[in-house]
């Protein structure tokens, strides 16, 4: 039997940081077996929401839970979302909800998206397309190239050593208007060597949901894709509170694993989020028959919890401890043994 629950908005979303409360009402239904959201009929802040998706099954701090995003489809400069977070499908009420409005200014180049928000007293559940932060070096046949200077037609070197042509490059500026971006928008910084020697070669910053490859063999085969936010440990992998960031992504002729600062990380896979990027703002209009790909379209399976993630978190802790021990080693310690005698 399928796990299906219906949820109801019956009052209003609380204010935040002095903002006004947002009236909300309506219902939506979630099928947790098929990971689909349907029968969406919600009004919030005077906007009608008829679409919904399960963003992920994790809170942005890595704890378990469920994030559902409702949206009102439009292709103007103004987009509105309601993001609901709850601990289990059986929750009959949830207060961790955020209403978010984004406005894109296309009068300047590059376009800038500014977010305004009101809602719950919880962590934001607003996703961003998986991306690399500006300045990230991507391995290509012409060397390590900053992602923002890549060109369509460049050949990227994948984790297996195969070469694949770049078919599309997109970017988006996120601006918190002087305030820290929502936590789910903030990049995750992976310190140099966090995954082992040279992995990555330099500090690497990714969007929270950007998967990296773990558990692959020496030839880059096998393994799982794990979102960076699932591996946060507060030391070698940590969130970066920023007020603005520029995200870039790179699509190949087929989904594969790029080398970003030497660390394997997935290339762009179109899940319908191309309009997030400046270069893809009209994509959905140009492709009316677009169908979101299934999980089989990914080049590796994805893991967000369970044995694969726990094993990798344990391994990363070992890598950090070994690096810390080496950094703290003192060759002349024996000369001062008398102090403890």
What is the DSSP annotation of 249-268? EEEESS--EEEETTEEEE--
Say if residue 169 is in the same domain as residue 299: yes
Residue 110 has what pLDDT?
46
8 Å CB contact between 138 and 145: yes
Does residue 340 lie in a domain region?
Answer: no
Whole-model pTM: value is 0.61
Does residue 148 lie in a domain region?
Answer: yes
- CATH code at position 292: 2.170.16.10
For residue 326 the two structure tokens come to 């080496």
Say if residue 15 is in the same domain as residue 73: yes
Residue 290 has what pLDDT?
43
Which of these three, 88, 106, 124, is where a domain ends?
106
Say if residue 299 is in the same domain as residue 162: yes
Domain that holds residue 15: 4-106
Say if residue 176 is in the same domain as residue 64: no
Does residue 273 lie in a domain region?
Answer: yes
8 Å CB contact between 113 and 103: yes
- How many Å apart are CA 311 and CA 107, to the nearest integer? 48
Does residue 260 lie in a domain region?
Answer: yes
Which of these three, 42, 71, 106, is where a domain ends?
106
What is the phi-psi region of residue 83: left when phi exceeds 0, alpha when psi lies from -120 to 50, beta otherwise? beta
- How many Å apart are CA 34 and CA 301, to the nearest integer? 16
Q: Between the CA of residue 175 and those of 83, 100, 131, 264, 334, what are the distances in Å?
A: 19, 14, 16, 28, 54
In total, how many domains does the chain have?
Answer: 2
Residue numbers in the chain where pLDDT is lower than 50: 14-19, 60, 75, 95, 106-115, 119-127, 281-294
Say if residue 269 is in the same domain as residue 158: yes
Say if residue 260 is in the same domain as residue 142: yes
**Residue 62 per-residue DSSP state:** S
Does residue 120 lie in a domain region?
Answer: no
8 Å CB contact between 16 and 123: no
Residue 201 has what pLDDT?
98
8 Å CB contact between 267 and 253: no
Residue 48 has what pLDDT?
83
Say if residue 97 is in the same domain as residue 214: no
Residue 137 has what pLDDT?
98
3-class secondary structure, 223 = coil
Say if residue 188 is in the same domain as residue 293: yes
Summarize pLDDT for 54-106 with one digit per residue, the tens.
766 555 455 566 778 887 755 455 667 777 777 677 665 554 666 666 655 54
- How many Å apart are CA 200 and CA 212, to the nearest integer? 11
Does residue 23 lie in a domain region?
Answer: yes
Say if residue 183 is in the same domain as residue 280: yes
Does residue 332 lie in a domain region?
Answer: no
Does residue 178 lie in a domain region?
Answer: yes
Residue 332 has what pLDDT?
64
């Amino acid at each position: 039997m399928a796990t299906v629950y219906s949820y109801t908005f019956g009052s209003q979303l609380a204010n935040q940081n002095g903002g006004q409360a947002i009236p909300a009402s309506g219902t939506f239904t979630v099928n947790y077996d098929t990971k689909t959201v349907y029968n969406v009929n919600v009004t919030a802040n005077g906007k009608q929401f008829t679409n919904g998706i399960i963003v992920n099954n994790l809170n942005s701090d890595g704890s378990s839970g469920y994030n559902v995003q409702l949206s009102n489809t439009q292709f103007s400069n103004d987009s509105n979302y309601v993001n609901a977070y709850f601990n289990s499908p059986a929750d009959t009420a949830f207060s961790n909800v955020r209403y978010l409005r984004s406005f894109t200014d296309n009068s300047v180049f590059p376009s800038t998206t500014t977010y305004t928000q009101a809602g719950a007293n919880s962590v934001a559940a607003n996703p961003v397309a998986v991306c690399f932060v500006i300045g990230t070096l991507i391995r290509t046949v012409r060397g390590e190239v900053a992602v923002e200077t890549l060109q369509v037609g460049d050949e990227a070197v994948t984790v297996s050593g195969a070469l694949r042509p770049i078919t599309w490059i997109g970017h988006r500026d996120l601006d918190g208007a002087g305030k820290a971006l929502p936590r789910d928008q903030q990049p995750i910084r992976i310190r140099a060597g966090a995954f082992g020697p040279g992995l990555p070669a330099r500090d690497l910053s990714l969007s929270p949901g950007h998967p990296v490859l773990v558990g692959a063999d020496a030839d880059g085969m096998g393994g799982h894709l794990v979102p960076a936010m699932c591996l946060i440990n507060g030391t070698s992998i940590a969130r970066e509170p920023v007020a603005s960031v520029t995200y870039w992504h790179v699509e190949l002729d087929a989904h594969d694993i790029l080398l970003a600062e030497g660390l394997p990380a997935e290339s762009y896979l179109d899940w319908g989020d191309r309009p997030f990027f400046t270069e893809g703002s009209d994509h959905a209009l140009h492709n009316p028959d677009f169908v979101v790909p299934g999980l089989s379209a990914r080049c590796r399976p994805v893991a967000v919890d369970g044995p694969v993630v726990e094993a990798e978190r344990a391994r990363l802790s070992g890598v950090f401890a070994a690096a810390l021990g080496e950094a703290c080693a003192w060759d002349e310690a024996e000369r001062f043994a008398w102090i403890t005698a």
